[in-house]
């Protein structure tokens, strides 16, 4: 299953048993990344009752890197031959007994 199915709505629609027979490729949610603990804590403090989305960690990091690079360069011009991610954090995920997603080790 691709990234589009990495959603609690998929588990609800397909059912827990059928979902657990699937293997998913996707990006783990922020709470599954130990290095994202600080981001998750700040997010939950700033937005009580909300859950950080899957891409929030990367958006936050990407924006900080972009702003730092723009400040260091003193310009917003860029070299179109650069900027592609070479280490994309896509993992294999499975549905847990509780209906959530977990990284398959």
pLDDT digits (tens, 9 = 90+) for 29-45: 888 888 888 888 999 99
What's the token pair of residue 46?
């700033």
Rounded to a whole number of angstroms, the CA Rg of the chain reads 17
Q: Look at residue 15 in the predicted model and tell me its pLDDT.
A: 93
Q: pLDDT band at residue 84, thresholds of 50, 70 and 90?
A: confident
Indicate whether this model's pTM tops 0.85.
no
């Amino acid at each position: 299953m691709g990234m589009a199915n990495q959603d609690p709505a998929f588990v609800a629609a397909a059912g827990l048993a059928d979902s657990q027979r699937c293997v998913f490729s996707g990006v783990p949610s922020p709470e599954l990344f130990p290095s994202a603990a600080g981001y998750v804590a700040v997010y939950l403090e700033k937005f009580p009752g909300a859950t950080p989305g899957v891409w929030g960690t990367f958006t936050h990091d990407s924006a900080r890197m972009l702003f730092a690079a723009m400040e260091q360069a003193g310009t917003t011009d860029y070299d179109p031959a650069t900027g592609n991610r070479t280490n994309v954090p896509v993992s294999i995920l499975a549905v847990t007994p509780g209906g959530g997603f977990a990284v398959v080790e």
